[in-house]
């Protein structure tokens, strides 16, 4: 199985940049996902990393270092609507490739 660790809560200012970290331990890494979840709503897919490096998609970027068991999600030009929970999920070779989710980081963006 996996052990996934994320900060519980972060706050940032509108227009700023924020980095949400995720560390994990797994026996057979097979990909890392980031999801956004607004309160009471469904998680929505943001990014996927399986190789080391940075994946950029608009205002959001995700980085992976497999040797360090580390990923981060970078959000630029923060908007109020970015206030949400950000979930890191790790998939491994064991079982049937089911992503295991961390508890999520609640991001609060204030004016």
Least CB distance to another protein at residue 1 (A): 10
Which 50-79 residues touch another protein, going by CB under 8 A? 50
Alpha-carbon gap, residue 100 to 84, rounded angstroms: 19
Q: Which of 75, 90, 104, 107 binds another protein (CB under 8 A)?
A: 104
Alpha-carbon gap, residue 88 to 72, rounded angstroms: 9
Tokens 């200012």 map to which residue?
A: 13
Residue 27 makes contact with another protein by CB under 8 A: no
Q: Which of 13, 19, 44, 79 binds another protein (CB under 8 A)?
A: 44
Measuring CA to CA, how many Å separate 74 from each of 5, 61, 91, 100? 17, 5, 21, 21
Residue 98 makes contact with another protein by CB under 8 A: yes
Tokens 């994320």 map to which residue?
A: 6
Binding site for another protein (CB under 8 A): 30-31, 33, 35, 40-45, 48, 50, 87, 89, 95-104
């Amino acid at each position: 199985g996996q052990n996934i660790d994320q900060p519980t809560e972060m706050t940032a200012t509108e227009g700023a940049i924020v980095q949400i970290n995720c560390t994990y331990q797994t026996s057979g890494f097979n990909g890392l996902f980031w999801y956004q979840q607004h309160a009471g709503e469904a998680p929505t897919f943001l990014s996927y990393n399986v190789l080391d490096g940075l994946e950029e998609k608009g205002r959001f970027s995700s980085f992976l270092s497999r040797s360090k068991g580390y990923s981060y999600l970078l959000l630029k030009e923060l908007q109020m609507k970015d206030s949400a929970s950000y979930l890191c999920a790790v998939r491994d070779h064991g079982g049937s490739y089911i992503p295991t989710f961390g508890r999520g980081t609640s991001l609060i963006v204030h004016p």
